[in-house]
Structure 1
Amino acid sequence: MATGETGFDDVTYDLVSVQYHSLKAGHDYGQYVRDADNAERQDIADFFRRVMEEDSARAKQCHEFIKELSGSSQSGAAVT
């Protein structure tokens, strides 16, 4: 696998990126839930909660893949 300037292979970098953005979005969605709750729009608050759960699951899956790649020759020097 190609290793870029970061020392991480492209796939590991991509997984870390998706994990970061999923966790960041999950944090932001908490505010969206509060906004919808304050507007008394339970249907929208529930939607944001579902989206938050999906991003949480996405971040967890990335974590599992990163653990799997960690220590392998596929991960690049920064992870091994």
Structure 2
Amino acid sequence: MKTITYSLSAIALVATLAACAAPMNNSQLGSATGAVLGGVAGNQMGQGQGKTAATIVGTMVGSVVGGQVGAQQDRYYQQPQVAAPYYNRGY
């Protein structure tokens, strides 16, 4: 069962990344990666009938957390970078 879960997670991640024609920003990439990792973690924690629910909740939580981390990185990298003055370049 674990092999099937890992295989489906890998296929879902590859399909998500391949489906985007434009390059993904960090928020989208973080959301997709978080969803896959959260789904795998939830599947490992759940037992019996709760396994499906744990997988779904793990996917949702992982997607939100991954998207927030990626959005924070997007905001950081979009800030203007100030170049050092010529006299302070270290050479």
Decide which structure has the larger Cα Rg and report it.
Answer: 2
Tell me, yes or no, whether TM beats 0.5.
Answer: no
Shorter-chain TM range is 0.3 to 0.5
